[in-house]
Every structure is written in structure tokens, then in C-alpha cells.
Amino acid sequence: MSRLCAFCPNTANTLEHLWPDWILKSLSASQPIRHSIGSRPAFYVNNPAVKVRVVCEQCNGGWMSDLETLNRPVIGALIHDISFPLDKAQQANLTAWTLKTGLVLDAINRGERAPFYGATERSLLRTQSSIPSETTVWIARFSGSGFHAGGTDIWLDQGEILKAAQGCVTTVIIGHLAIQSVTIRGLHPEYRAHPIETVAIKPGRWAQLLHKIWLPSGNVNWPPQLTFTSRGSLSIGALMDRWRTRKA
């Protein structure tokens, strides 16, 4: 049976670049790229031009291409470590780009579990750039220059209540830019209304390391006060692990 497009009812009949050509050329990418999906071990791909068959030609060459073009000036500045002010519209556009990447990763992993994001959420992202409810997105600066795309399912406990909420975390690192999104589903009635406000994460200097861009509350100036590094107390690995408060 042919696989359907992650965003519409068409057949997934084209190969989508996980990393757009313009990003690879801009960063002269040649090093292996690290990928981690769900509970599977992380793996490295020697060819940075990673392609995945999860979308249709119409989506790939239509709204996804338009979203890429819309975000190119902002992403192009941040990946090259250029200080950049983001207004509310730019934050919303970057959020849509991040969720597009996260939903592609979610679709890649659907052979092992049901997709976290529903068909309606995927369709609304395509047609209206609508962001799934209870989603938060942050940006950060990485002192190194890397490529990483990771999607992780998480379970969150609240006190004595195990698995009070379920979440999906996407972490993307491109050059000096790190982006993380999390969508939380409250499973226990007590936490169903506003689960993102009740979950606990690993301790860290997140307020100084991250700028929240969704929902945007005003303009933000990149980079944040503190910078993630390759090693040490501010290691970029802490960003990838900050929501992993328990094993699934």
C-alpha cells in the first residue's frame, strides 16, 4: 500500500529534503548529520542531503516551498550567528517552519507507533499555518556549528500521577541556531486544560538560554543572554534532554 502524504490525502510521491539545499550550501555542509527519532538509537548520515518520502509533490513544491522562502532571511541570519531582531510575524513564521519539520519527523517514525499529531492538525498547518494547541517553541544559540534533527515522544508525571501527560519534542540544530518545540497532551483530567503550564522539566538556566517565540508576546532579540556549548554545564545535550523526565 502506498504511503499517504503527511499533510494531505495525496500519495507521498516525492522525496523531501530534510535540510534544504540553500542551508547545506550556505553552511558548506559536509560533515555527518546526527538523527534521533523516538526511542531508536541516534544514527549518523554521511550525506547531508537527506531525503525522505513522506510528502506529495503538491505539498513539497507548494506551501512547504513557500514557507521555506518566507523564513530564509531569518534562518539565514541566525545559522550564521548574526544578531537579529524577530518581530511577532517572523516568530510565527519560524514556528510554522519548525512544526513542519517536526511533523515530517513524526511521519518518518509512524511505522513504529501512531503519529502524535492528528490529521486535522497536519491539514491546518498546511492550509492555515495553524500551530497545534498546547505547543511552545524556543530558539537558542549554539557556540558550535552543527546539524541535528530529533523527534522524541515523552511521558510526564505530576506528583503521584504517572503519565499525566504525553508530549512530542522536536529539537533542530542548524549551524549556530537551535530550535525546540514541544506539544503536550494532558491525559489526566486534572491536567487536560492547560498541561504545558503544569509539567516539570529538568532544572537548568532555561530563562537565560532560550527565547520563547510561540506564542509570541513581543519582539525578541537573538541571541539570548547565555549560549549553549559543546561540553560542560551548558552543553547542547542538556537542551535535547530537558524534557526526558521519565522513561516511556
H or E segment to which residue 155 belongs = strand 135-158
Tell me the pLDDT band of 248, cut-offs 50, 70 and 90.
very low
C-alpha–C-alpha distance, residues 82 and 85, integer Å: 10
C-alpha–C-alpha distance, residues 241 and 228, integer Å: 13
H or E segment to which residue 241 belongs = helix 236-241
State mean pLDDT over 102-127. 88
Chain segment 70-101, per-residue pLDDT in tens = 999 999 999 999 999 999 999 999 999 999 99
Residue 198 has pLDDT above 60, yes or no: no
Chain segment 41-67, per-residue pLDDT in tens = 666 666 666 677 899 999 999 999 999
What pTM does this model have?
0.89
